[in-house]
Amino acid sequence: MNDSSRHHFSMKHVDHIYTTDSNWSLKSNETLGDMNSTGIAQIIIPQELFLMLGLVSLVENILVVVAIIKNRNLHSPMYYFICCLAVSDMLVSVSNVVETLFMLLTEHGLLLVTAKMLQHLDNVIDIMICSSVVSSLSFLCTIAADRYITIFYALRYHSIMTTQRAVGIIVVVWLTSITSSSLFIVYHTDNAVIACLVTFFGVTLVFTAVLYLHMFILAHVHSRRIMALHKSRRQVTSMKGAITLTILLGVFILCWGPFFLHLILILTCPTNPHCKCYFSHFNLFLILIICNSLIDPLIYAYRSQELRKTLKEIILCMWCFTV
């Protein structure tokens, strides 16, 4: 891969552009590739840290998926969407683990790869990461819509959000995410691709924020009326789900926000010294992205007693089996 063809959709091998002559770089933006000449040092983070975080987050999300499949009480549209959110986080974890292993094996001379193999690996990892962010945003919006229907159309919820419709939504989201991500990588040299991704990020956040704002305002206004109708338990459950997804959305913004700001700066001020200084922290942004995959399962477990109970059972069974 020559520098002119690189783009900044992913990942941590950007640091190799500044520290080695290696070609380990996933479409890194050429503006960033010139950073050595600016005298701004790229923050280096040990590959072993990336590998450890990736493995831990992978195990956590696998446990969440297995728990939802195992427990029939969790077989509902919202938990199906949460399961898909966990799979989206797994894509980040898997891509991080595979990439880091390849880098470590290559650096230590244990694996010889050709430029063509690296190109294919770059494309696969980029598609996985891009699919992860697109699907994560889509499922956060889907869960927000699901909670909205639960609160304001409680009596019609089961007729509106059927299992068949939930499965249809999941299939559409995954097909759209994979297709759009593949197109993004094919046309990665066009700045319009970054603009589309940033726009999608902004639109989904606004959509979700509007739904949540409406939910919390109207739920608060009508809470006493709902309690008078003896439906307080349903309301509490629905609002608990809405609060859980609010936490998930907040964590997502905190962890992915710096990366999207990075993309925005690439479009708006690629040569500005202050922007280049921000670019030098890219590896920290990648750590935050991996931490998002690490934190989400903890939020699921903390907010859902049923899921927490099932996770404990699975972990206990695994421990007994190993002993």
Domain ranges across the chain: 45-321
CA distance 216 to 293: 27
What is the rounded CA–CA span in Å between residue 240 and residue 216?
Answer: 11
pLDDT of residue 223: 59
| Tokens found for residue 92 | 């980040």
45-321 to CATH, choices 1.20.1070.10, 3.40.50.740, 1.10.1200.10, 4.10.490.10: 1.20.1070.10
Q: Pick the closest to residue 166 from 142, 184, 190 (CA basis).
A: 142
Rounded to whole angstroms, how far apart are CA atoms 82 and 64?
9
**77-107 and 282-303 helices cross at what angle (nearest 10)?**
140
Give the contacts of 100 (CB within 8 A, at least 6 positions apart): 12, 47, 50, 51, 54
Residue type, 299: I
The token duo for 183 is: 């197109």
Note whether 198 and 258 are within 8 A (CB).
no
Provide the pLDDT for residue 13.
39
pLDDT (tens, 9 = 90+) of the chain, 323 residues, equals 333 333 333 444 333 333 333 333 333 333 334 444 445 667 788 888 888 999 999 999 999 999 999 999 999 998 999 999 999 999 989 988 988 888 888 888 787 878 888 888 888 888 898 999 999 999 989 988 998 888 788 788 889 999 999 999 999 999 999 999 998 888 877 788 888 888 999 999 889 888 888 877 776 666 556 555 554 445 555 566 667 777 888 888 899 999 999 989 988 888 888 888 898 888 898 899 889 989 988 888 888 888 888 988 888 888 887 76
Exposure letters 155-185 (e unless 16+ CB within 10 A, then b) = eebeeebeeeebeebbeebbeebbebbeebb
Instruction: Give the ranges where the chain is alpha helix by DSSP (H).
Output: 15-19, 30-33, 47-70, 77-107, 115-152, 157-160, 163-186, 191-228, 232-268, 273-279, 282-303, 305-322
Q: Which residues contact 277 (CB under 8 A, 6 or more apart)?
A: 40
pLDDT value for 240: 65
**Comparing C-alpha atoms, which of 245, 222, 246, 250 is closest to residue 234?**
222
Residue among 207, 231, 203 nearest 219 (CA):
231
**Each residue of 101-143: pLDDT tens digit?**
888 888 887 878 788 888 888 888 888 989 999 999 999 899 8
The three-class DSSP label of residue 31 is helix
The per-residue pLDDT for 10 is 43
How many CB atoms neighbour CB 114 within 10 A?
8
Q: What is the tens place of the pLDDT at every residue in 47-89?
A: 888 889 999 999 999 999 999 999 999 999 989 999 999 999 9
